[in-house]
Amino acid sequence: MPEARIENAIRRLRFEAGEMTQAALAQAVGVTRQTIIAIEAGRYAPSLELAFRIARAFDKPLESVFQYRP
């Protein structure tokens, strides 16, 4: 079975938010910068709660931050 992918638009959203740093986003959602790096690179799929917190940090709906690619 092929692995499902969760893609994200965090890099673009950070750019649109005035080049928000990974550290600033990490602080805003309560994780380490390394976790943001891993999520942004698609190497870690966040929990639903963290996904919502990230979406809230950008003031966007969840589906405009994360997309599921089966």
- Interface positions with other proteins (CB under 8 A): 30-35, 37-38, 41, 43-44, 46-47, 50
Identity of the residue, 16 or 34, whose beta carbon is nearer to other proteins in the bound complex: 34
Shortest gap between Cβ of 17 and other proteins (angstroms)? Answer: 21
Residues with Cβ within 8 Å of 22's Cβ and at least 6 positions away in sequence, in order, are 14, 33, 36, 37, 40
Q: Which of 48, 54, 8 is nearest to 30 (CA)?
A: 54
Q: State both tokens at 22.
A: 């990974």
Pair of tokens at residue 26:
């990490």
Q: Which is nearer to other proteins, 20 or 31 (CB)?
A: 31
Nearer to other proteins, 53 or 60 (CB): 53
